[in-house]
Amino acid sequence: MKRLTLIVIALLLCISFTACNVAEDAEGLSTSSSSSSDLPAYPYTYDRYAVPAAVRTSLGGSYETYKAAVDAIDSAAESFAVTDEAEYETVCAALEACYPPYGLVTGANYDAASKEVHLSYRYNATVMQQQVEKTDQLSGMIMALALREGDDELNRALALYHYVITSIHMDGSDSSLWVGLMDGTGGSYAAAAMYSFLLTQVDVESVLAVTTDHENKDHYLVIVTLNGKPYIMDPAYELEFSKGGLVCFGMTEQELTANRLAIPVKALFGQTPACTDVRFASMRQCAKWSFNEDRTRVSMTVDGSTQIFDPTEEGN
């Protein structure tokens, strides 16, 4: 699909998003199916409570508390109840790793007497609810666009990546979808959290992770599993610097160590996947990528040489 066509589709969807058939049930789910005369259509489900399988397992019985916490944030409530301090720590860690609007929470403090978590927010209640509603809307738009690119794992992952960082005009503004959530104040967390959240929506395994950038500050990444292998992607770098589609495929662990570029990457929740063949090195060690015409492989340019990435082949 040519770039111009994609831009036109994006603009049309922004203008006529309400034309999609959306049905909401009491559990916070929305389902829709995009339709077009020249593109395939795939149904999708949007679930505010969706978390990766590993996080769901770790939460166990605390998943209901997690859902209550999501509801509290969405309504800008002052608090939500927990059973003890351990559950407070587990649920808040899951919120940071899995639910982008948690980035709008400026304080989540446990009160042992009441067994409640008291919340404070970046915005007042009215603005908070507007931002959360915007997240729901933008998530639906981005999935409708991305799933038209193809329904296999690679297509879903890279198409979502593309649309998370692509500027789409809404109400006369020119801002990417993650900027729409936090008005440009969320930094790398906002970009990575939105990307990981949307990957979960379309059943691509991922985990939000953090590393240290060249200024010794936290920098958030997403570890995405394609064909059973973990790869590190950095949507915030793309947004801030390149505008050209960057993925941190990096070098091997041995090469990183030899070149003194290895920077630890830690998952925000649960175990950090062992990305031994593709490690985040530094912002200098990124690869430009683009789809081939039938969108089954990715052409990457690294240090001036072109490589073909095919997740179905051994060694990638």
Q: How high is the pLDDT of residue 84?
A: 97
Residue 286 to residue 264: CA distance in whole angstroms: 16
Q: Quick one: DSSP state of residue 79?
A: E
48, 130, 179, 217, 279 from 211: Cα distances, Å = 26, 31, 21, 8, 11
DSSP 218-258: EEEEEEEEETTEEEEE-HHHIIIIISS-EE---B-HHHHHH
Q: How high is the pLDDT of residue 116?
A: 97
3-class secondary-structure state, position 157: helix
Average pLDDT over residues 298-315: 53
Q: How high is the pLDDT of residue 185?
A: 56
- 163-172 tens-digit pLDDT: 776 644 334 3
Residue 187 to residue 274: CA distance in whole angstroms: 26
Instruction: For residue 295, name the pLDDT band (cuts at 50, 70, 90).
Output: low
Q: One-letter amino acid identity for 144?
A: A
Look at 42-56, 276-290, 297-311 and tell me which has the smallest mean pLDDT.
276-290
pLDDT at 28 over 70: no
Q: Which residue has the higher pLDDT, 43 or 229?
A: 229
pLDDT at 71 over 80: yes
The pTM for the full model equals: 0.70
Q: Which residue has the higher pLDDT, 118 or 150?
A: 118
Average pLDDT over residues 189-200: 86
**Boundaries of every domain in the chain:** 3-41+142-309, 53-126
